[in-house]
Amino acid sequence: MRLDETHDPARKSWIESANEPGCEFPIQNLPFGIFRRKRSKEAPRGGVAIGDRILDLAAVGVKTGSTLNRLAAAGGTARKALRALLSRALSDPKQKKRFAKHLVPMAQAELFLPVAIGDYSDFFTSLHHATNAGRMFRPDNPLLPNYKWLPIGYHGRASSVVVSGTPVVRPSGQRKPPETPAPSFGPSRRLDYEAEIAFVVGPGNPPGKPIRVRRALDHVFGVVLLNDWSARDLQAWEYQPLGPFLAKSFATTISPWIVTLEALEPFRVPAFVREAGDPAPLAYLHDEADQREGMFAIEIEMHLRSAKMRAAKMRSARLSRGNYATSYWTPAQIVAHHASNGCNLRPGDLLGSGTISGPAPDSVGSLLELTMGGKQPIRLPSGEQRGFLEDGDEVIECGRCAREGFATIGFGEAAGIVKPALVVQSVA
Catalytic residues: 129
- Amino acid present at 293: E
- How far, in Å, CA of 49 to CA of 70, rounded? 19
Count how many Cα atoms sit within 13 Å of the Cα of residue 258 in the half-sphere of its side chain.
32
- How far, in Å, CA of 175 to CA of 409, rounded? 42
Q: Decide if 77 contacts 42 (C-beta within 8 A).
A: no
Phi, psi of 394, rounded to the nearest 5 degrees = -110, 125
Q: How many CB atoms lie within 10 A of CB 421?
A: 16
SS3 per residue for the chain: CCCCHHHCCCCCCCCHHHHCCCCCCCCCCCCEEEEEECCCCCCCEEEEEECCEEEEHHHHCCCCCCCCHHHHHHCHHHHHHHHHHHHHHHHCHHHHHHHHHHEEEHHHEEEECCCCCCCEEEECCCHHHHHHHHHHHCCCCCCCCCCCCCCCEEECCHHHEEECCCCEECCEEEECCCCCCCCEEEECCCEECCEEEEEEECCCCCCCCCCCHHHHHHHEEEEEEEECCEEHHHHHHHCCCCCCCCCCCCCEEECCCEEEHHHHHHHEECCCCCCCCCCCCCHHHCCHHHHHHCEECCEEEEEEECHHHHHCCCCCEEEEEEEHHHCCCCHHHHHHHHHCCCCCCCCCCEEECCCCCCCCHHHCCCHHHHCCCCCCCEECCCCCEECCCCCCCEEEEEEEECCCCCCCEEEEEEEEEEECCCCCCCCC
